Amino acid sequence: MRELVISKYEAGQRFDKFLAKYMELAPKSFFYKMMRKKNITLNGKKAAGNEKLEKGDTVKLFLSEETIEGFREKKKRAVHTGAKLDILYEDEQVMLINKPAGMLSQKAEKGDISMVEHLISHLLDTGEVTEEMLKTFRPSLCNRLDRNTSGIVAAGKTLQGLQMLSGLFKERTLHKYYLCIVKGVIKEEQDVRGWLLKNEKTNQVRIFKNETKDARPIHTKYRPLADNGQETLLEIELLTGRTHQIRAHLSYMGHPIFGDPKYGDAVLNKKLTSGYGLHMQLLHAWHLVFPELSSDFEGLSGKSIYAPAPKQFVSIAQKRGLGTWEHGIPEV
């Protein structure tokens, strides 16, 4: 017999889904049969499988060790990356991290090391999770930033935290703001809409003014913070989160982002590379505003989180006379 106690990280999921993660190689019919025969129990009682697990629940597997281990997939241990995370906010359930440009949010290929791997490595190093816990729940991110976009990524340390954050992003009740430097002068706030069509083969998008077949609607707001007569520091509120939306939409409007290799101004980018050594787009997810939340997440309820911009971003902005900055945050 093996006894398992549900941790805060695993709480919130259905019992049958937990079992399927714990013994990945077993067919679903096996679990239901064992529950009917009370060879698998929840809190000492017969279970149906649709119960929602809570922290402290006890699961008993009246099975031989050979049977249990035979149904468990032999996974590689998590990678200890040793990276130091720039943590902006953390509680028992969630973590908000300032992702540097150049780092993947999530794996693109099997061998990649992304922010998710750095997150799990950090939680292992601090002892908050163990390799055994990772078999039934893996902390993860709820939003993605392009590799060369810096700024706030939101991570669920527990399943409940992950579900809460994912719900906010899906329902668009979480307000997301970005900073960028663009070519040209924008003097007035703008509320713009359009249609975005993605080419899956090239991973590039096109913007259209009117509805177009297979294109998806986009909605963005821009607010100028400073300009020098040739370029503008913008704050962007992202109201729909499509692939490359900000980058492509600004380029379509005649205001490409500094350093953008896909949608930017090639001549300008060459000058920025030679003058500043810039090899990334100057786009930074700098501000999140949370709605009112339940008591389980009172630490984030109504809270504003800011992420300092990268040093190179701030340096270029200051040298080109784009606003006053303090500790990586523009004074607005």
- What is the rounded distance in angstroms from the CA atom of residue 195 to the CA atom of residue 208? 5
pLDDT of residue 295: 86
pLDDT in tens, 31-66: 999 999 999 999 999 999 999 999 999 999 999 999
The per-residue pLDDT of the chain, averaged, comes to 93
Rg of the chain taking only CA atoms, in angstroms? 24
Q: How far does CA 288 lie from the centroid of its chain?
A: 12
For 325, the 3-state DSSP assignment is: strand
The model's confidence at residue 180, banded by pLDDT at 50, 70 and 90, is very high
- What is the rounded distance in angstroms from the CA atom of residue 5 to the CA atom of residue 133? 11
Q: How far does CA 165 lie from the centroid of its chain?
A: 9
Closest CA to 43 of 84, 100, 4: 4
The model's confidence at residue 317, banded by pLDDT at 50, 70 and 90, is very high
pLDDT in tens, 229-272: 999 999 999 999 899 999 999 999 999 999 999 999 999 999 99
Mean pLDDT over 107-135 rounds to 89
Residue of 146, 227, 260, 265 marked active site? 146
Would you say residue 154 has pLDDT above 90? yes
pLDDT of residue 82: 84
Give the Å distances, CA to CA, from 92 to 128, 167, 173: 9, 18, 22
- Please tell me which residue, 231 or 9, carries the higher pLDDT value: 231
**What's the CA angle centered on 271, arms 267 and 272, to 5 degrees?**
115
Would you say residue 78 has pLDDT above 80? no
Mean pLDDT over 2-9 rounds to 91
pLDDT of residue 268: 95
DSSP secondary structure letters along 100-123: PTT--SS-SSTT---HHHHHHHHH
The model's confidence at residue 76, banded by pLDDT at 50, 70 and 90, is low
Mean pLDDT over 165-177 rounds to 93
Rounded to the nearest 10 degrees, how much is the dihedral formed by the CA atoms of 104, 110, 116, 117?
Answer: -110
Angle between helices 28-36 and 15-22 (to 10 degrees): 120
Tell me what percent of the residues of the chain surpass a pLDDT of 70. Answer: 99
pLDDT of residue 241: 86
Question: Can 146 be counted among the known catalytic residues?
Answer: yes
- What is the rounded distance in angstroms from the CA atom of residue 131 to the CA atom of residue 76? 10
pLDDT of residue 15: 96
Closest CA to 2 of 22, 17, 21: 22
Q: How far does CA 316 lie from the centroid of its chain?
A: 27
**What's the CA angle centered on 102, arms 76 and 223, to 5 degrees?**
130
- What is the rounded distance in angstroms from the CA atom of residue 186 to the CA atom of residue 180? 12
- What is the rounded distance in angstroms from the CA atom of residue 87 to the CA atom of residue 118? 12
Contact (CB, 8 A) for 272 and 258: yes
pLDDT of residue 263: 95
Task: List beta partners, residue 222.
Answer: 190, 236
Tell me what percent of the residues of the chain surpass a pLDDT of 90. Answer: 84
Q: To the nearest 5 percent, what fractions of the chain are helix, strand and coil?
A: 25, 30, 50
